[in-house]
């Protein structure tokens, strides 16, 4: 089978941070591979873990308003995966993240994609400018 042409998206060096995810038996679907919806859970967990570790989520909540994913190969339990994340764009109240899901020790991603968080006030749920600490953390994830 020919290798998919994903351009720079496939290069691990494109991503600024990686988070390891252990798959679970329940992640497999009836076809014997990890269901596509689980990929979004893995990515959401990786981004939010990165932000929580940096203590950058105290003042705002990130709501996903757009996402997309291109799947290139299947994963299955008990695969251990690495989610690469980067930031493609920073707006006033939004951040566009890019991601790739790799099986550990494999250089070709099983999926690549993006999602957009709009950060909102925890009480009103209205968009608000990114807090300084959050902006600094996402600036460090900016793709080069």
Its CATH architecture, for the domain 14-140, is Roll (3.10)
Which residues pair with residue 83 across a beta bridge? 19, 101
Residue 125 has pLDDT above 60, yes or no: yes
Using a pLDDT cut of 90, give the percent of the chain over it.
Answer: 65
* Position 1 pLDDT exceeds 50: no
pTM for the full predicted model? 0.86
Mean pLDDT of 101-127: 92
Helix axis angle, 132-140 to 36-53, nearest 10°: 120
* Interval 23-45 mean pLDDT: 90
The tokens of 104 are what? 């550990």
Does 8 score more than 60 pLDDT? no
Q: Residue 88, Cβ neighbours under 10 Å: how many?
A: 13
State the pLDDT confidence band at 107, using cuts at 50, 70 and 90.
confident
CA torsion sign, 43 to 44 to 47 to 48?
negative
Domain layout of the chain by residue ranges: 14-140
Residue 121 and residue 61: Cα distance in Å, rounded?
Answer: 7
The lowest-confidence range among 30-39, 55-64, 113-122 is 55-64
Q: What is the pLDDT of residue 71?
A: 92
pLDDT for res 5? 52
- Say whether pLDDT at 2 is over 70: no
Per-residue pLDDT tens digits for 67-82? 999 999 999 999 999 9
């Amino acid at each position: 089978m020919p290798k998919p042409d994903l351009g720079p998206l496939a290069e691990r060096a494109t991503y600024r941070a990686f988070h390891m995810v252990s798959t679970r038996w329940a992640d497999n679907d009836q076809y014997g591979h990890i269901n596509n919806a689980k990929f979004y859970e893995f990515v959401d967990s990786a981004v939010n873990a990165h932000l929580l570790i940096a203590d950058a989520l105290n003042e705002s909540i990130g709501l996903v308003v757009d996402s997309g994913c291109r799947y290139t190969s299947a994963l299955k339990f008990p695969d251990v995966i690495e989610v690469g994340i980067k930031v493609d764009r920073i707006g006033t109240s939004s951040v566009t993240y890019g991601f790739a899901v790799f099986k550990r020790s494999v250089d070709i991603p099983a999926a690549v994609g993006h999602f957009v968080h709009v950060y909102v006030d925890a009480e009103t749920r209205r968009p608000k400018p990114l807090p300084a600490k959050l902006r600094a953390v996402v600036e460090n994830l900016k793709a080069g």
